Amino acid sequence: MSNRLADETSPYLLQHKDNPVDWYPWGEEALSRARDEDKAILLSVGYSACHWCHVMERESFEDEATASIMNEHFVNIKVDREERPDIDSIYMSAVQALTRGGGWPMTVFLTPDGAPFYGGTYFPPTPRQGMPSFQQLLVSLADAYENRRDEVLKSADGVREYLQAATGADIPKAGTAGTEVLNNAAGSLLEQLDRRSGGFGGAPKFPQAMNLEVLLRHHHRTGDGIALSAVELTLRKMAEGGIYDHLGGGFARYSVDAHWLVPHFEKMLYDNALLSRIYLETFQATGDSFYRRVAGETLDYVLRDMTSPEGGFYSAEDADSEGEEGKFYVWTPQEVGDVLEPGDADLAMRFWDVTERGNFEGKNILNVSRPPEAVASEFGMSETDLWSRITEIRTRLFEAREKRIRPARDEKMLAAWNGLMLHSFALAARVTGREDYREAARKNAAFLLEKLREDGRLRRSYKDGRARFNGYLEDYAMVADGLVALFEATFEERWLSAAGELCDAMNELFWEGDRGTFYDTPADHESLVTRPRDVYDNAAPSGTSVAAEVLLRLSLLLDRDDYRVRAESVLKSLGGGMEKVPGAFGRLLAALDFHLSRPKEVAVVGDPGSKDTKALLDVVFGSYLPNKVVAGRAPDGDTAPTIPLLTDRPMREGRATAYVCEGYACQSPTTEPGELARQLVGS
């Protein structure tokens, strides 16, 4: 018989609906039962693409004896961390305080009022490496709660006080100001650079796209070639490594080694949004088509495998298929030979390093371990001919792989992650000129505004026709940011107007005036043990960082000085964090760079389909100019004051015309692409 999770939409919760555990979703029914029966709460938090979450389910939650202990002594609550980032953030902070570690699955034991008194991550079914078995832990904690309540409550009170103090704590003021913070951040990141394989630190190694953007912006601002080399080294090594899907496109979440070879095979939407963006920006900065190709393959993967018929983007693909991690992605020489003719098979195995020995549990993760020019020379062909052959081979191997059993896909659509991917598709439309990317962005924006917005409020998650949960700060900020990018890709005013509406709601619902920053949950959200305020940029940017940047951009596009003042407050409040731990504030450092740069305000007036308009726009988006806002309209378009940048901006001599302003001073309008390029790079 199914438990209460059968009525949920989260794929992660639905994975547990047939467990013998009497699971509840987080909500008043479970919390009331804990209070009424005076039982401790066992809170289990994970997500659908989490490998060790699946392991713990098989070992413990599907075990009748373990479930019996859980059901007798605890009220058991299962939470999808992606649907409820507030719950995840609060109790992950508690686990980190209790154990100095964290991760998923997360297992936390709470008093009936939600205060944590014990926690950890994965617990094995039998004692292992100094860890108790999960059953032993359950029995011990049940005994403590039932027979040594004073000890439990004392621990819970201590953790509660810690959480509330951490949420309310101010970040120290910065000792430096202005561009010195940015320069020091770049220097700190370069000190952490792995100069052999790129990336920061050792294994496990995460992409950290936002910190790469800090270095790319530093290069743009200062001309520092070392910073650009660090970005290029990292992006090339990742795209050559096993963390990149060489047949289907897209990146896995992280590499378990320091060399990007062996991925944790799950693919997350937010990673591919952030990585496609940094590859596009590096193409703009260098003109090297390698980066454009990788960005395009990544976005094509999202269009093909991660886009719903309604236009929303799915959340993730699992690491496992048929119960084995990575099985869908790995190859043996025999499997390659079964698909390809001998000559093509030899070339493919040399190019992607497929051997009898293998590099992953006796099989092979495709990776490019040799320079392509060396492979071309070995096979007596030009690099152009090599790539032509590899493109054909890639298609055939991909088609063969499509016949395998695919990893499970988490088909819930999260507003925040969709906003990140919306931004990437909109940027790609301008950079590559591909209309399918522009249409994907339009369709996604319409989906978000029609399906996840109700009475001006955003919902967090959508699946099976149901929009659920209050939107969080990151949902409002990231969707607004994506809409601004879409406006710049289309010049359709409705997207800019919607972005402003979301920011107005965001400021009303989440602002924390005393500290000059934002909460993560809206003012009318349910009462939790503390109101979370996570300002750090981790695997995905924080809502606070994206809010600051989108407010700065909209302050210029909509002439909203109140937006600028609020963003400046955030930058000031978190200045000490950016100074002391720059690696945790990559997105906010980008916002600071924008703020300090005297951004260019560009208006383009001309027929959207004409060659002269396209020539001007190619200049605007053809190089890396991160600190700009762009507005445009047809010559007979609306010049309503909602976009002041377009007011009183006529065409000159019947030709598409560009206007470049900076800090309330405008340069002469121009119809010439060369002159526009000069104005954009000039001081």
What is the rounded distance in angstroms from the CA atom of residue 182 to the CA atom of residue 195?
Answer: 21
Token couple for 664:
């309330």
User: Which one of 3.30.1280.10, 3.40.50.150, 3.40.190.10, 3.40.30.10 gives the CATH number of domain 4-168?
Assistant: 3.40.30.10
Helix axes 561-573, 543-557, angle to 10 degrees: 150
Residue listed under structure tokens 């047949």: 247
What is the rounded distance in angstroms from the CA atom of residue 343 to the CA atom of residue 134?
Answer: 53
What is the rounded distance in angstroms from the CA atom of residue 362 to the CA atom of residue 429?
Answer: 41
pTM for this model (two decimals): 0.95
What is the rounded distance in angstroms from the CA atom of residue 650 to the CA atom of residue 38?
Answer: 72
- Residue intervals of the chain classified under CATH 1.50.10.10 are 179-321+410-596
pLDDT at 265: 94
Q: Residue 629 is inside which H or E element, if any?
A: strand 628-633
Q: How far is CA 518 from CA 337, 355, 514, 529, 570, in A?
A: 56, 53, 10, 18, 8
**Count of residues making up the chain:** 683
Angle ∠(468,311,281) on CA atoms, nearest 5: 105
Pick the closest to residue 234 from 270, 256, 210 (CA basis).
Answer: 210
| Centroid of chain to Cα 160 | 29
Token couple for 352:
């992607």
Kindly write down the DSSP assignment for every residue of 380-432, as one continuous string.
T--HHHHHHHHHHHHHHHHHHHTTSPPPPEE--EEHHHHHHHHHHHHHHHHHH
Q: Residue 296 is inside which H or E element, if any?
A: helix 289-305
Q: What does DSSP say about strands 316-317 and 320-321: parallel, antiparallel, or unpaired? A: unpaired
Q: Which residues of the chain have pLDDT under 70?
A: 1, 637-641, 683
User: Which one of 1.10.10.10, 1.50.10.10, 3.40.50.1820, 3.30.70.20 gives the CATH number of domain 179-321+410-596?
Assistant: 1.50.10.10
| Bridge partners, residue 193, by sequence | 200
Q: What does DSSP say about strands 413-414 and 457-463: parallel, antiparallel, or unpaired? A: antiparallel
pLDDT at 637: 56
Give me the amino acid identity at 10.
Answer: S
pLDDT at 682: 75
Q: What are phi and psi of 600, to 5 degrees?
A: -75, 135
What is the rounded distance in angstroms from the CA atom of residue 456 to the CA atom of residue 458?
Answer: 7
H-only helix segments in 511-574: 543-557, 561-573
- Write the secondary structure of 464-493 as one string of H (helix), E (strand) and C (coil): CCEEEEECCHHHHHHHHHHHHHHHHHHCCH
For the domain made up of 600-681, the CATH class stated in words is: alpha beta
Q: Residue 78 is inside which H or E element, if any?
A: strand 74-80
Kindly write down the DSSP assignment for every residue of 102-125, as one continuous string.
--SSEEEEE-TTS-EEEEES---S
Count of beta carbons in the 10 Å neighbourhood of residue 217: 27
- DSSP 3-state of 638: coil
What is the rounded distance in angstroms from the CA atom of residue 30 to the CA atom of residue 625?
Answer: 51
Q: What does DSSP say about strands 106-110 and 116-120: parallel, antiparallel, or unpaired? A: antiparallel
Residue listed under structure tokens 């339009």: 442
What is the rounded distance in angstroms from the CA atom of residue 22 to the CA atom of residue 1?
Answer: 10
Angle ∠(189,292,621) on CA atoms, nearest 5: 85
- Residue intervals of the chain classified under CATH 3.40.30.10 are 4-168
Whether the Cβ atoms of residue 645 and residue 664 lie closer than 8 Å to each other: no
